[in-house]
Amino acid sequence: MKHKLMVLFLALAAALFGAQPVPVIFDTDMGNDIDDALALAMLHALESRGEIKLVAVTLTKDNPWAARYVSAVNTFYGRGAIPLGAVKDGATKQEGKYTRQAIESGGWKWSDANAEAVALLERTLKAQADGSVVVIQVGFSTNLARLLAEPGGRDLIAKKVKLLSLMAGDFTSHGPEYNVREDVKACQKLVAEWPGEMVWSGFEVGRTIKYPARSIGHDFGWAPRHPVVDGYKHYMKFPYDRETWDLTAVLYAARPEAGYFTLSEPGRVAVDDKGFTKFEAAAGGRHRYLKVDEVQRARILEAMIWLASQPAR
């Protein structure tokens, strides 16, 4: 009887307070643009709210300060133990404009990535429940393509991953988008072999929603210093508004049912050798891309600002 009451109580609690936090893997080229840093701040807020759990961060930018900056941000939010995986022989080896600079100016504590990215992806997926993991890719496809090439890699993804939310591509045909262009072959492998649902936030989505400088200037005042604000101020001459590319992929991944975005019909994304992306609708296709209208843009930006600047706890 006691047991039955407990089961009933747990079911009621789950219904009232929502389900278990969704395990998230964040795969980022931290250090190339500042939107990765704001996207990571959003993930910490979503974890504090019990919506997600950040189970690993893997890097596709091949510079040690990329992981060090992620470590500094995670440590600031009280989550310095989140495992980090570094890419080996990856794209964009340059240091960039804000990772080392923010750490040194702010005196932020960090540690180095203690794993290679693909090995960490494998280990992390194996440890999670079947069909539970959301992967957010906001850099190049290097790590995920290599995971697909591992023996059993594709099966592991099919078994464990619920959704791949990625910022990549351009579905208005302006040109090859940066995240695709920097490792075209990896992105081609990803679209050809990824076994599950894939939702693309193309260049045109984040380009039309800009994170405002005034939020960076005012909304982070709850901390005397903040590593994301330090990064933002080093990345370009402050004040400036910045496109929210990577933030869109995080928001969709965390709250796919919230109506922030409109989904395209199902179909297939094709990536040519120059990095152009093209979408073709097809019944039963596992790829979709995000669309936004004016009302959605305002609502999306509001959510991004609330989440990115939410106090650490």
Residue whose CB is less far from Ca ion, 37 or 156: 37
Residue whose CB is less far from Ca ion, 206 or 267: 206
Residue whose CB is less far from Ca ion, 96 or 139: 139
Residues 51-110 contacting Ca ion, CB under 5 A: none
Q: E strand or H helix at 52, and its extent?
A: strand 52-59
Binding window for Ca ion (CB under 5 A); candidates: 10-18, 132-140, 270-278, 293-301 = 132-140
Q: Site size for Ca ion, by CB under 5 A?
A: 5
Instruction: Decide if residue 47 touches Ca ion (CB under 5 A).
Output: no
Residues 239-278 contacting Ca ion, CB under 5 A: 246
Cα-Cα-Cα-Cα torsion 153, 158, 161, 163, nearest 10 degrees, comes to 120
At 75 the three-state DSSP class reads: helix
Question: Shortest approach of Ca ion to residue 32 CB, angstroms?
Answer: 6
In one-letter notation, the amino acid at residue 88 is K
Query: Among the residues of 182-293, which ranges form H helices?
Result: 184-193, 203-207, 213-218, 227-235, 245-254
Distance CA 30, CA 28 (A): 5
Binding window for Ca ion (CB under 5 A); candidates: 21-29, 46-54, 206-214, 261-269 = 21-29
Locate tokens 């001459």: which residue? Answer: 237
Residue whose CB is less far from Ca ion, 148 or 167: 167
Closest by alpha carbon to 27, among 106, 80, 91, 108?
91
Instruction: Decide if residue 29 touches Ca ion (CB under 5 A).
Output: yes
Phi, psi dihedrals of residue 23, rounded to the nearest 5°:
-70, 130
Distance CA 41, CA 47 (A): 10
Residue whose CB is less far from Ca ion, 139 or 153: 139
Among 24, 27, 31, 36, binds Ca ion (CB under 5 A): 36
Among 46, 102, 117, 138, binds Ca ion (CB under 5 A): 138
Residues of this chain that interact with Ca ion (CB under 5 A) are 29, 36, 138-139, 246
